[in-house]
Amino acid sequence: MTMAKVIVVTSGKGGVGKTTSTAALGAALAQTGKQVCVVDFDVGLRNLDLVMGAERRVVFDLINVINGEAKLHQAIIRDKRLDNLSLLPASQTRDKDALTEEGVAGVIEEMRDKFDYILCDSPAGIERGATLAMRHADIAVVVTNPEVSSVRDSDRIIGLVDSKTQKAENDERVEKYLLVTRYDPIRADKGEMLKVDDVLEILSIPLLAVVPESQDVLKASNLGMPVTLGSPNSYAARAYTNAARKITGENVSVEIPQDTRGIFSKFFARKAA
Average pLDDT on 76-95 reads 90
Query: Considering only CA atoms, which of 192, 182, 250, 188 is closest in space to residue 218?
Result: 182
**Nearest CA to 236 among 212, 215, 257, 218?**
212
d(CA 99, CA 81): 30
Q: What is the dihedral of CA 143, 145, 150, 151, to 10 degrees?
A: 80
Q: Is the pTM above the cut of 0.85?
A: yes
Q: 96 falls in which pLDDT band (50, 70, 90)? A: low
Pairing of strands 77-78, 85-88: antiparallel
Cα angle vertex 56, ends 53, 59, to 5°? 120
What pLDDT, on the 0 to 100 scale, is given for residue 193? 94
Output 164 or 3, whichever has higher pLDDT: 164
Query: What's the pLDDT at 48?
Result: 94
Distance from the Cα of residue 119 to its chain's centroid = 6
46 vs 224: which has the higher pLDDT: 224
Provide the mean pLDDT of the chain.
90
b/e map of 186-213 (b: 16 or more CB within 10 Å)?
eebeeeebbbbeebbeebebbbbbbbbb
Residues 6+ apart with CB under 8 A from 149: 13
pLDDT at 251 over 70: yes
What is residue 93's predicted lDDT score, i.e. its pLDDT?
73
User: Which positions ≥6 away from 23 have C-beta within 8 Å?
Assistant: 38, 48, 51, 52, 221, 226, 227
Determine the angle formed by the axes of helices 235-247 and 215-222, rounding to 10 degrees. 80
CA distance 137 to 174: 7
Q: Is 266 helix (H, G, I), strand (E, B) or coil?
A: strand
The per-residue pLDDT for 262 is: 43
CA angle 226, 87, 120 (to 5 degrees): 85
pLDDT, one tens digit per residue, over 81-90 is 999 999 999 9
Name the CA radius of gyration of the chain, rounded: 17
CATH architecture, domain defined by 5-267:
3-Layer(aba) Sandwich (3.40)
